[in-house]
Amino acid sequence: MSIAVKRRPKHLDLFTIQLPIPGLVSILHRISGAALFLLFIPLGLFALQGSLASEQEFTAWSGLLAKPLAKLVLIGFIWAWAHHLLAGIRYLLLDVHVGIQLQPARLSSKIVMVLSLAITLLLAIKLW
């Protein structure tokens, strides 16, 4: 009796691996969650605290958030929020075995990507 040894690559080049769309949604869900938790929540609370301190602080924060670079950061926050929310709903549905087959899973992944980008685009137009 011989044991079959699987030949696995020793070095995975993550930039050449073609992930399926559900895998991409999964990785982006984790990235957006980490960005929301580690960056945008602390920055948002800091900005809220500063803007509520006085009228001058509010004017200063309003001026800062009117700059193009700050708007780009806000657009990134909008995308992270939209993607994380929609992908989270998708995962909740997958947990109750809705859309678990291959084709519905791929379709729901595409819907998450399209809707998160559409929400980001619509709110970015309104923001700008």
Give per-residue pLDDT as tens, 42-59. Answer: 999 999 999 999 999 999
| pLDDT given at position 25 | 96
> At a CB cut-off of 8 Å and minimum separation 6, what does 31 contact?
80
| pLDDT given at position 19 | 85
CA dist 69 and 7 (Å) reads: 48
| pLDDT given at position 17 | 77
Show the tokens assigned to 54: 């006085």
Full residue range of the structural domain in which residue 112 is found:
67-128
Does residue 17 form part of some domain? no
| pLDDT given at position 70 | 94
Parts of the chain with a pLDDT under 50: none
Does residue 6 form part of some domain? no
> At a CB cut-off of 8 Å and minimum separation 6, what does 67 contact?
none
Does residue 58 form part of some domain? no
CA dist 42 and 58 (Å) reads: 18
Number of domains in the chain: 1
Provide the whole-model pTM: 0.83
**If you search the block for the tokens 């993607």, which residue do you land on?**
83
